[in-house]
Amino acid sequence: MVTYEFNRESRLLTPGQFQTVFSKPLRFGSNHITVLITPNPEKTNRLGLAIAKKRVKLAVQRNRIKRQIRESFRLNQHNLPGIDMVIMVKSGTDKLDNQEIRRQLEKIWRKIIQRHK
RNA sequence: CGAGUUGACGAGACAAUCGCUGCCUAAUUUAUUUCGAUAUUAUUAGGGGGAGGAAAGUCCGGGCUCCAAUGAGCAGGGUGCCAGGUAACGCCUGGGCGGUGCAAACCGACGACAAGUGCAGCAGAGAGAAGACCGCCGAUGACUUCCUCGGAAGAACAGGUAAGGCUGAAAGGGUGCGGUAAGAGCGCACCGGAUUGCUGGUAACAGUAAUUGCAGGGUAAACUCCACCCGGAGCAAGACCAAAUAGGGUUUCAUUACUUUAAAUAGUAUACGCGUGGCUCGCGUGGAAACCGGGUAGGUUGCUUGAGCUAUAAAGCGAUUUAUAGCCUAGACGAAUGAUUGUCACUCUUUUUCGAAAGAGAUACAAAACCCGGCUUAUGUGUCAACUCACCAA
């Protein structure tokens, strides 16, 4: 079933949920973006964002990156295999424009899907 | 029309598609139920809201909350021309003084060094009740020469001198005339300063008159003195609900011992093990249920109706205040307010049938986190108003 929804069930909310992902992750990444994933026992996809203030200084840029990631996750989640993930970014990501961020994310989604076939 | 100053406004618009958030309405669902409903949970549909002028820096001032105190002082910190505004301010308005600019305007921690203490590199003769390096003079005294013995001339020894030069950020009022051997507030005129009065002003201050020969530099964003102000911590404040686990208290039952009864039926004691012959005492182990209180995770609240916004009128030079009417305008919490596409707007260039067309470019600074009042800093462009200067025309 194809869904484009993104509500609170689709997000990691508590420190405990983040910890389970950090404890035993599989790593995927591109030049600027790192994704840590763990299988979700309930077979739904959940997204958590960890955009450090140290990496992206301005609040406006952090918000822009988060929204781009959420948007891309929202449009591609029906292809993903039921995982919890935490996305982190590296310095310099704030220099990328929206299209470039989106291209990098789509590459990562393809990698994850291939790995879980 | 050109150059500029100040203030105000705005912070691209519209449409389509896919999403987020909390509010209202409806339906379904869940829970409770006195079966009328109530409204807790969740889902769906529809409707109408959803970042800023600085939301930023966190530099001041308040509201609000808790704690401490309720007087007074010390320490520490802050402010610093005058008057007004305000909840308050280090803010704002008006005025004064000083500075910059032709001007409109802009800038200024702008009390006191005559209470005391301290500080000042280099240069320079001398840096604080100063100083003879060059210079000027050498009247007076001494020296040399001439001589009509009255004096004259010379050199520059004693000495005089703050005009000029030199050093420096700064050299102990300035300009001119008189005066003198040369000079000097030594004398005078004007300017400046100080003191005392008078006038205007709420005041800062300004003007003016008389007196005074000038009265002794700078630095207080050096200590200090003077005047005034300041309790501490902050929404992660604070209030409420409260799982699991561990632990605390109370009650009941069970257990155990004894007595009793047909009977764990009733009563009494509280147990059991170890140490001791026994009591006291010490150590260890104590089953089940209910209730009470504290309280962690988590949740709710604080949380947006407020020194609020808009309009009109009145008072005031103004900041601002008052009155009346209308309006409700984000409340998120691993943190919503977004993304994509198209069209139109903005600037420049070219073409032009003056309707427009084509191409290129720009779209900033930056995002609420309890709420207000300010300050400071960042900001691509655009619009409007008032004023100043220059040029031209009348």
Q: Give the whole-angstrom CA distance, residue A78 versus residue A33.
A: 21
Q: A112 with A37: CB under 8 angstroms?
A: yes
Selection from A67, A86, A88, A90 nearest residue A14 by Cα: A86
Q: Name the closest nucleotide to A51, judged by C1' and CA.
A: B334
pTM: 0.72
pLDDT (tens digit per residue) in A33-86:
888 888 776 667 778 888 777 778 888 888 888 888 888 888 887 777 777 788
Residue A31 CA, nucleotide B384 C1', distance (Å): 51
pLDDT (tens digit per residue) in A96-116:
777 788 888 888 888 888 887
Which domains, ranges and CATH numbers included, belong to chain A?
Answer: 8-115 (3.30.230.10)
Selection from A77, A80, A104, A106 nearest residue A92 by Cα: A104
Task: Give yes or no for CB of A90 within 7 Å of strand B.
Answer: no
Spacing of C-alpha A78 from chain mean position = 14
